[in-house]
Amino acid sequence: MRTLLFLLLVIGLFRQGAHAQLGLEGGTMQTRLTDWATFADQAEGVPFARAAGGQYLTLSYWFRLRAIRIEFSPGLRLSQQIFRLSPNEARTLDIRAVAVEWPVLVYPFDLGSDCHCPTFSKQGPALEKGFFLALVPVGQWQQYRPPEGFHLPKGEQILPALALRAGLDIGLSDAWTLTLQGGLYFARAWEWTDFPALFPDQPDGPARTDARGWNAGLVLRYRWKR
């Protein structure tokens, strides 16, 4: 709740001086826990977690700087991913997350544009006006739910992540913009609080695994008339 209130406050502050759009994004994602295989090899009976598949939904708010094509799209993302614990294992590990992300979008082929307007109002080649690269800091709260009979308890944690994306804006009308985007993300130190009991050779404290993955989605943005 605090995260949502903070995001709404930031949006309210920027709304006073910017032409803005609300956006809704849906997409698919896949995450791999890079160190889980090593942990599984060290403890008998701990299955290997294959790459997780999942979906996400993001509500965002778009605004930009004046006189230069650097834009921002802070958002609140909900996601769910399911890890199949081994190729022959029917049980799964369910991870649900709530994240605040702050994409910084740069339009390299149109950086000097002084058109303070969305893509659909710009004149020129679609690729030049619509292609962007984005750096995305993320703060994420997540909860994992092991299957019944598995020896890990439920757990939760807060962790930072970073994503790199590329995308293309497509102007549909004077009010709607469709964006296709995808990218890679990296998060350090997912903590598994019960692992010290499972892996006696590990140091005291929770075991940690890095996470790497990709995502791809569609964003539909609406610009209200002022």
- Residue 191 sits in a domain whose CATH number is 2.40.160.20
Read off the pLDDT band of 67 (50, 70, 90).
Answer: confident
The top-scoring range by mean pLDDT among 25-29, 185-189, 209-213 is 25-29
For the stretch 108-163, pLDDT in tens is 988 887 555 555 555 567 788 889 999 999 999 988 777 666 656 567 888 899 99
**How many domains, in total, are found in the chain?**
1
Read off the pLDDT band of 17 (50, 70, 90).
Answer: very low
pTM above 0.85, yes or no: no
Q: What percent of the chain is modeled with pLDDT above 90? A: 32
The tokens of 98 are what? 């709530």
Report the alpha-carbon distance of residue 66 to residue 116 in Å, rounded: 6
What's the DSSP call for residue 172?
Answer: -
Report the alpha-carbon distance of residue 28 to residue 25 in Å, rounded: 10
Is the Cβ–Cβ distance between 190 and 167 less than 8 Å? no
Helix H or strand E encompassing 126: helix 126-130
Show the beta-strand stretches assigned E in the chain. Answer: 21-33, 52-64, 70-72, 75-84, 92-101, 104-106, 131-145, 155-171, 176-192, 207-222
Task: Give the max Cα distance, the chain.
Answer: 64
Domain that holds residue 214: 2-222
